[in-house]
Structure 1
Amino acid sequence: MNIYQHYRPEEHAFIDKVNGWKLAVAEQYTVRLTDFLNPREQFILQQVIGNHPDVSLSFWGGSSYSERKRALIHPPFVPAENEDFSITCFEVNYPAKFVKLEHKDILGALMNLGVKREKYGDIVISGETIQLSAASEIAGYLRLSFEKAGRASVTLNELEPGMFLGAREEYTEKNGTVSSLRLDAVMSEMYSISRSKASALIAGGKVKVNWRQVENTSFELEGGDYVSVRGYGRSKLFSIDGQTKKDKQRIRYGILK
């Protein structure tokens, strides 16, 4: 059976990478630590590894509620401890009385340091508290280089284990019907907007599916997909639950609170 038929073409390169990791662990009894993975990548990793008798899979992102996590692919006889994931968590110090920082300010500043996104985990903002997780191999560079975000000067304080908040996802679950599983049609249902408005957002580069920008209105969604729309928030298509008598698709989805 061709494993690729279950995934989109743009995901095939990641599947090849996962198969390489699996083979190395199974044949050489070695351990593979990945960069931070988004939930879709974690799902694919779990599906491809499956119930392989010689390969175990563990995840950690710094907190029990982490969204972005590193994966440890290891032989079953090798235990996985939190410290094996090489994650360092920080709290961001900034003049909170005088300036407000948003997620985009922190992420933008981090990306300007020239380190790829996969080396960063969650960015968590709770009131005036801002925390982030990162791969330990870049922790020293971050301490020295992360000095400004938005209009604020910033410094980093390393957190003790167990102090990282993590990004806890909670969705408001809903049911609906759509004429098709096209991105514009599903967005119209999820966000209570017209299909023409959905199409404009897609064409304007403001929509991501599974953390990848999509500009094709006819892109077809599948159960488990995440949809993020700038200015409207994130949603998840939990399942596709069959057709109505009028040939519409029943869907179950959630809007991130």
Structure 2
Amino acid sequence: MELLSVPDVPEVREGDDLAALVDARFDLAPEDVVVVASTVVSKAEGRVADLADYPAGPRAREIADRLADLTGEEKDPRFAQAVLEESTELLMEAPFLLTETRFGHVGVNAGIDRSNVPTGDVLLLPKRPDESAARIRERLEHQNPVVVTDTSGRPFRHGQTGVAIGYAGMPASRDYRGETDRDGHELEVTVQCVVDELAAAANLVSGEADAGTPVTVVRDWDFGDLEGSENLYRSVDGDFVRQALRGWEYDE
């Protein structure tokens, strides 16, 4: 397969038509997958905010004070308030904020970004990334599958990688359960999260910092004839790491 950057994408503003920006700059084939960084999706959807919009309540001030004590750096309680308002659950409050967003993604600071925001203080994740992906897909000339991505850290591993936070036009995963390996053993648990793998591959091309290439086209990749799954996030009942975190306290 090939990974191809869409060239010359301008600074995206609220109301911009991302599908039109892509179609005007890249000759998409019908089977291409379009992978879009959440930063430009958020900007197009007006998810830029000022910290003044988040007057800090007592809980946010408490969190900011504790983090300041731990790190020796002043923390803005308004940022903590923004994280709380973008979250449904605070899984860790020290030594950093790990939360579940309102659409089910678990990440640091509810995925709120303070970089590459020329017109405000912070950039929030899209409210409903699956719907964002579906809107972009609907307006593309060939209605290609679309994956919306963010970068995220992972437990037990150093560094960040691209992950999918929304998708449309394709299943989230390939289900190998019931297939057999080369020795004839039946696979019982193997489900491959292809939208995450495409997101990580695209991130190698789109890069970080000031790369300025937020849209990647995946060409000559085929989902195949396996069953697909729409599940991207673990259910709370089956997420044993989350259950462990609920009973864990940071030892200062």
Give the shorter-chain TM-score range: under 0.3
Point out which structure has higher relative CO (alpha carbons under 8 A, 6+ apart).
2
Report which of the two has the higher share of strand: 1
TM-score by length of 2: 0.24
TM-score by length of 1: 0.23
